[in-house]
Amino acid sequence: MGWFTDKNYPIKLFVAFMAIWLFSFIGIKYPFDFFLEHIFTVLFVGLLILTYKKFRLSNVSYTFLFAYMILHVIGAHYTYSLVPYDKWSEALFGINITDYFGWSRNMYDRLVHLSFGLLMAYPAREIFLRITHVKGFWGYYLPLDVMASFSCLYEIIEMCIALAMGGEVAKNYNGEQGDSWDAIKDMAMAVSGGFIAMITLFFINLKLKKDFWKDWGRGFKVKRKAPLGEVELKRMLKK
């Protein structure tokens, strides 16, 4: 488990990711959809690079981020609704996974939305704990809240892009596959993934952290007794 303490581990992950990402440029069938999907990739990876020296995350967080981004790269290469996991499952296990579970659609996008909550909630929690110093309950609730709000925001952006593009591009990018409840189900998957991550971490900390319940109690301790709203507005106006 040397990667836990390997200072160069995030750089190794970055090199591996860039190699996989560049390799994914080969043989793409829908170039414009591929471009749209990777606007997020460029912005997110750029943010991680810019913040690396001043706010280095843990190796655990970078591992989760790497795993999620690889899933995204696969989805962008094929387009999410056409990822051929059936062929992969047949080649590896001799089973068509869609037929086996009786699915009527390609479920890869559902997997990635679930993985968004499952893999991104912990890095979000690390940011909350290290920057805002949240305690107890809030360290589990706020990352879950972020997963829900970001998932909602993404679905709104996706809808706007689909409406603006129209045609085949919108169909491939939006990936509804004829399901009018697709956006709601995607958000539900992200929230479910975040909940699984946070409830798992809750029980890990409950088992290993000696002052767990004291920390939980500190999360509900009032830091400022004076109310905000009109009281704070009055104070600011006096200044």
Sequence ranges of the domains in the chain: 2-238
Taking only Cα atoms into account, the Rg of the chain, rounded to an integer number of angstroms, comes to 21
- Give the integer Cα–Cα distance in Å for 210 and 37: 44
Structure tokens at 215: 């920390």
Structure tokens at 208: 């290993």
- Give the integer Cα–Cα distance in Å for 128 and 46: 21
Residue of 1 and 40 predicted with greater confidence = 40
Question: Within 13 Å and on the Cβ side, how many CA atoms surround 123?
Answer: 21
Helix (H, G, I), strand (E, B) or coil at 239: coil
- Give the integer Cα–Cα distance in Å for 183 and 172: 14
195 and 140 in contact (C-beta within 8 Å)?
no
Residue of 227 and 175 predicted with greater confidence = 227
- What's at 19, amino acid-wise? A
119 and 194 in contact (C-beta within 8 Å)?
no
Residue range 149-160, pLDDT digits in tens: 999 998 888 878
Structure tokens at 108: 């890869």
**Residue range 82-101: mean pLDDT, rounded:** 92
* Percent of the chain predicted with pLDDT > 70: 92
Residue range 174-208, pLDDT digits in tens: 556 666 778 888 999 999 999 999 999 999 999 99
Sign of the C-alpha dihedral computed for residues 215, 125, 141 and 67 taken in this order: negative
* DSSP result, 32-45: HHHHHHHHHHHHHH
170 has a pLDDT exceeding 60: no
pLDDT for 55 equals 95
Mean of per-residue pLDDT scores for the chain:
90
Confidence of residue 226 (pLDDT cuts 50, 70, 90): confident
Q: What is the dihedral of CA 162, 165, 168, 171, to 10 degrees?
A: 0
Residue range 107-139, pLDDT digits in tens: 999 999 999 999 999 999 999 999 999 999 999
**Measured at the alpha carbon of residue 125, what is the angle toward residues 128 and 130, in degrees to the nearest 5?**
40
* 4: Cβ contacts below 8 Å, ≥ 6 apart: 59, 60
**Residue range 46-73: mean pLDDT, rounded:** 96
